[in-house]
Amino acid sequence: MSPFLLTRTLPEDATEAALRADVLHGLSHTPKTLPPKWFYDARGSELFDKITELPEYYPTRAEREILAARAPEIARATGARTLVELGSGSSEKTRHLLDALPGLHTYVPVDVSESALTQAGHALIAERPELGVHALIADFTGGLALPGTPGPRLVAFLGGTIGNLLPAERAAFLTSVRALLSPGDALLLGTDLVKDESVLVAAYDDAAGVTAEFDKNVLTVVNRELGADFDPEAFTHVALWDAEHEWIEMRLRSRTEQTVKIPALDLAVDFAAGEDLRTEISAKFREDGVRREVATAGFDLTHWWTDREGRFALSLSVVR
């Protein structure tokens, strides 16, 4: 059986330090914000899995449809011997690519969660004893070094997660990915597409209230990790479409005037009644915009695939 290697590039206390910094910065400014990565503790991950199964939430199904149909074409276009997946989680969708890449030598899942990497990695080598798995505990937005594996390399960034980054953050991220790669390597990027506002808002504000619970979970994380006294029921989940920027914003709106104490930061945060705390942006894209953004970072977009309804896209870009 091939080895499962796990490399930590984040210090043991990096997650706690990052949370403290993000909460202090985000809640000390106007408008107040928290980054969406803090949704995903064990409960948050469980809730997101439920979201992906909701009738309103199409992106996961649409992307899976494209992967199932186009994985052989992706394999032929890239000839990848190393597959790197950023934000790999359970690696479930990636199995379409793993099945389609006959010459694959090494799979490199990258995630901040050691438990997710370990569980997925051991499952994969049990299914594919010929495959090497070298997992990285890392924050791919904060600089990344890849292990020495054979090329060509294919970096996959799926799920539309790139939409959670602001435009300047996207530019920096794409440039950092290009710096890791060599001529002949490629980037497979999942992007949700601009569409009717009602469809978009429903995907982030489902009738069953699962997304609302997911949104409020960030407050539970801050309470548990930093000793805060947020009352999640004192906030209402809101999803709004920003037509100018072409992104969805998820917010938590304070129901009343209140003060939240965060002892670990020696911080007291005042909320006015009706004041919003932004917890996520989710940008939606058009083909010409994706083409421009990857070109600026040093890639040429060579393939563009959508699901049958044109809701979601996978693009393949090669290193220039």
* In a domain? residue 69: yes
* In a domain? residue 1: no
Separation CA 146–CA 82 (nearest Å): 11
Tens-level pLDDT at each residue, the chain (320 residues): 567 888 888 777 788 898 999 999 999 999 999 999 899 888 888 899 899 999 999 999 999 999 999 999 999 999 999 999 998 877 778 889 999 998 999 999 998 777 778 888 888 888 888 899 999 988 887 778 899 999 999 999 999 999 999 999 999 999 999 999 999 999 999 999 999 999 999 999 999 999 999 999 999 999 999 999 999 999 999 999 999 999 999 999 999 999 999 999 999 999 999 999 999 999 999 999 999 999 999 999 999 999 999 999 999 999 99
Q: How many domains does the chain have?
A: 1
* In a domain? residue 127: yes
The CA-atom distances, in angstroms, between 185 and each of 10, 94, 114, 298 are 25, 18, 27, 12
Question: Which residue range is the domain that position 104 belongs to?
Answer: 57-195+286-319
pTM attached to this predicted model = 0.93
Question: Taking Cα atoms as reference points, which of 46, 173, 156 lies closest to residue 110?
Answer: 156
* In a domain? residue 259: no
Query: How is the beta sheet containing 32-33 ordered, strand by strand?
Result: 32-33, 276-283, 247-254, 235-242
For residue 271, give every residue at least 6 positions away whose Cβ sits within 8 Å of its Cβ, in sequence order, or none. 32, 254, 257, 258, 259, 260, 277
| Residue 85: CATH number of its domain | 3.40.50.150
Separation CA 45–CA 40 (nearest Å): 5
β-strand pairing of 132-137 with 106-111: parallel
- Mapped onto helix, strand or coil, the DSSP state of residue 189 is strand
For residue 46, give every residue at least 6 positions away whose Cβ sits within 8 Å of its Cβ, in sequence order, or none. none
* In a domain? residue 30: no
* In a domain? residue 20: no
Q: Write out the two tokens for 274.
A: 């009706």
